[in-house]
Structure 1
Amino acid sequence: MTTNGVAGLTTGGAKRGTDADAERNEPGKEAETVRGTAGQPGAVGRDVVTGTVVFDALGGPEVLSVRQLPLRTPAAGEVLVRVEALGVNRAEALFRSGGYYYLPTLPGSRLGYEAAGVVEAVGEEVTRFRAGDAVLTGPGIEMSAQGVYAERVVLPEDSVVRRPAGVDAVAGAASWLAYSTAYGGLLETGGLRPGDVVLITAASSGVGIAALQTAARIGAVPVAVTRTVRKREALFTAGAAHIVVTGEEDTVASVKALTGGLGADLLFDAVGGAGLAGLATALRVDGTVVVYGWLDGTSSVMPMNWPLTVRGYANQALSGSAPGRRRIDAWLASGLRDGTLRPVIAEEFEGLASMPDAHRRLEENRHTGKLVVRLS
């Protein structure tokens, strides 16, 4: 285990283009085909189409393709968003391959729920947005029907949140899901407090880095768990106070040594599976486990080192309510504004046609931070 004296934050990373321009479908019609003024309902021409990523069968990244789909007029309570950047998330890869908690509707399923963009038009009864507003997507999106991997997308008003001032599209596309999950899982569900030691698995993921920064922001002690020493320095830079490399040391023994034999207060786990029971023994008596993912792919084994609280966190339970979205938005905006929350961009890809490459990179598990696809 290694310890960080001062945990800095970082953005930046590699930028990846694609030489597949010749294979791209023609982009959707330009903004002038969308009629709408600030605060007024918008209409879309009958023949307008928009480039959209779809898939017809479960499988690897190769099942993804770009098609031109009709772009309908926003109905009452809906918002039309021109997408500028897309966050690529583990849940989307699971959905594409059939491993998510609900299955896609095939053929012709859409994909994706995290985008940054600009409102182009609104339907009747929309009160919180108007044309020209910079926004993020995320809450309550059913990916088969509403997936946001597209040049333009029509969504319910409640699935759109205002992008914090001063945040560009790439940072925005890397922010909402990661920081809402970290906030909801650690603070609202896990009850993390200043001085608490929190063990964070899958620490190099977008949510993992958001959890490191969220814990540090409130004065807790974030301990990153990673499988390889190669990611150590990047995790220190991202905000970890201590790092446990599972390939080199005994995780439970290292955490016990760090805490004077007491154990960590909270385990924030994205992996689950048979290893959960053993990892939970790194907690103190009456500690808390918050499981928010199942990357292991097998059934989790219930920890038996009681007394212990085990909670499963579903982001929709918090973001699906107006009060929950208000708290998430306040946390995210204030953290981005004061610099304590800064998304780490591992790599940028260009255009919808690069989405299979982005998914391949995601599944290599070699990156630290968030993968983002820019639409220009």
Structure 2
Amino acid sequence: MPGKQRLGATRFAILINETGYAQKTMKALVLSQYEGPLELTTLDRPQPQAGQVLVRVHAAGLNPLDVKIRAGKAAHAQHPLPLVLGIDMAGVVEAVGAGVTRFAPGDEVYGMTGGVGGIQGSLAQYAAVDADLLARKPANLSMREAAALPLAFITSWLGIVDRAHLQAGQSVLVQGGAGGVGHVAIQIARALGAEVFATASARKLALIGQLGATAIDYGAQSVEQYVQAHTGGAGFDLVVDTVGGATLDASFAAVKHYGHVVSALGWGTHALAPLSFREATYSGVFTLYPLLSGVNRAHHGEMMAQATRHAEAGQLAPRVDARRFALSDAERAYEAVADGSAGSKIVVDVD
């Protein structure tokens, strides 16, 4: 029976762990100094502890945050040296630790699982991962596509659903809609029944239209002009800022009375008077907090399960750069993220 086979596989995996499974080795990229080289190194393969699963990593998605961590410039996401980078991953469960019942060897999974706060990242053949951070990979997405989703989806969902409680029929403005987080935010908002608008540069307006949103050229129109053109001057129910800085200030000017602004980049000094005059509210999103603190990690797995549901319903698809990178040439992958040459998510093929 399927149930008995699944239980047998789980018990077998635990038995292997208890008999020295972790003594085997794996290849991983190790950073020994900030801004230094990524060195392909042989390490002991980790052993899943209670509540963890051992994942054979197939693909690792790279984010601008990964570049900042490597450079030692992300004070909010410090990762002690030596370190294995990589926040997003997709792979196959190899073994499970004590107490894990949601996953079994052979399950395809994905999530935002490490690369910060001393937790091993995804640029390695294997990772021992807190099972609460994982969800079943969408059946209709490749490993590469799945690895491109976690950070972008979680950041977007936290803002749009958890903070703003978006309702069908509301208007949403996504600032930076062609970016890694922005293009996912557009798809989530549309899946929830909102009328979606998004800002982008002139050369990326076509992508906004392809995603089903109304495109706004931020270089050709002032905030006042596009608010007047698309809302009759009333403003948007929700503004999702994925850019920060002056764009967050513009977001305060674009929201309607009693509306809401959410941002994952609310750093620096900002005047809140525009919000006050509109009796609008603001929320910040700190996507890494559960990884760094250990608090509320199960919600990350719950959000990734929502991503799977929307992806399999045809409502969510990540954009992945066509270039292929292996562990041995991941330096080039980091360069592609750092120099801005990637028009979509960079993914490293680990396995």
| TM-score relative to the length of structure 1 | 0.80
- Identify which of 29, 42, 58 aligns with 1:53: 29
Per the alignment, residue 3 of structure 2 pairs with: none
296, 311, 318: which one aligns with 1:343? 318
Deviations 1:280-320 (A, max 9, x none): 111112221101136xxx61413311112011012356895
Using a 3 Å threshold, how does the CA distance of structure 1 residues 371 and 38 change in structure 2: closer, same or farther? same
Structure with the bigger RCO (C-alpha within 8 Å, sep 6+) is: 1
1:328 correspondence with 2:324: no
Aligned ranges for residues 125-274 of structure 1 at < 5 Å?
125-138=99-112, 142=116, 144-226=118-200, 228-239=201-212, 241-274=213-246
- Show the counterpart of 1:94: 68
Counterpart in the other structure of 2:273: 304
Contact 1:198 1:223 in 2 (8 A): yes
Q: Are the structure 2 counterparts of residues 343 and 275 from structure 1 closer, same or farther at C-alpha, using a change threshold of 3 Å?
A: closer
Equivalent residue of 2:234, what SS? coil
Aligned position for 1:29: none
User: Unmatched 5+ residue regions in structure 1?
Assistant: 1-35
Contact 1:198 1:267 in 2 (8 A): yes
- The 8 Å contact of residues 242 and 264 in structure 2, kept in 1 or not, is answered as yes
Map 1:62-73 to 2 at 5 A. Answer: 63-73=37-47
Q: Higher mean Cα deviation, 315-324 or 37-46?
A: 315-324
CA 1:122–1:318 in structure 2 vs 1: closer, same or farther (change >3 Å)? closer
Distance 1:37 1:51 in 2: 29
The question of 1:370 aligning with 2:328 is answered no
In structure 2, the CA distance between the partners of 1:304 and 1:63, relative to structure 1 (3 Å rule), is farther
Helix, strand or coil: the match of 2:216?
A: strand
Whole-Å separation in 2 of the counterparts to 1:175 and 1:146: 19
| Structure-2 residue corresponding to 1:280 | 252
Quick one: structure 1 residues 357 and 141, their matched pair in 2 at CA, closer, same or farther if it must change by over 3 Å?
closer
Q: Out of 3, 6, 9, which is 1:38 matched to?
A: 9
CA distance in 2, matches of 1:365, 1:197: 30
Cα RMSD, aligned residues only:
2.5
Q: Pick closer, same or farther for the CA change 1:309–1:39 going to 2, 3 Å.
A: same
Q: 1:361 aligns with which of 336, 346, 351?
A: 336
The 1:312/1:70 distance shift into structure 2, 3 A limit, reads same
Secondary structure, counterpart of 1:146 in structure 2 = coil
Q: Per the alignment, in what secondary structure is the counterpart of residue 321 of structure 2?
A: strand
1:26 corresponds to: none
User: Runs of 5+ in structure 2 lacking a partner?
Assistant: 1-6
Amino acid at match of 1:229: A
1:252-300 deviation per Cα after TM superposition (whole angstroms, max 9, x unaligned):
3212221111111111112222442233111112221101136xxx614
Check conservation: 2:31, 2:37, Cα contact below 8 A.
Answer: yes
Aligned length: 333
> Could you give the per-residue CA deviations for residues 305-354 of structure 1, whole angstroms, max 9, x where no partner exists?
11120110123568953763464244212211110111121334231123
- Between stretches 202-211 and 68-77, larger displacement belongs to 68-77
Distance 1:236 1:327 in 2: 30
Give the letter for the 1:374 counterpart: D
| Counterparts of 1:300 and 1:221, CA distance in 2 | 30
Q: Secondary structure at the residue paired with 1:347?
A: coil
Helix, strand or coil at the partner of 2:119 = helix
Q: What is the distance in 1 between the residues matched to 2:269 and 2:242?
A: 11
Q: Cα distance 1:247–1:113, how it changes in 2: closer, same or farther (>3 A)?
A: same
d(CA) in 2 for partners of 1:132 and 1:216? 33
Instruction: Tell me whether 1:80 sits opposite 2:49 in the alignment.
Output: no
1:161-211 deviations in whole A, cap 9, x for unaligned?
Answer: 222334321121112222222222112211222222222123222211110
CA distance in 1, matches of 2:329, 2:176: 25
Give the secondary structure class of the aligned counterpart of 1:74: coil
Task: Answer yes or no: is the 8 Å Cα contact 2:57–2:124 preserved in 1.
Answer: yes
Cα distance in 1 for partners of 2:94, 2:131 equals: 13
Aligned to 1:27: none
Which one has the bigger helix percentage?
2
Separation of aligned partners in 2, 1:255 and 1:142: 39
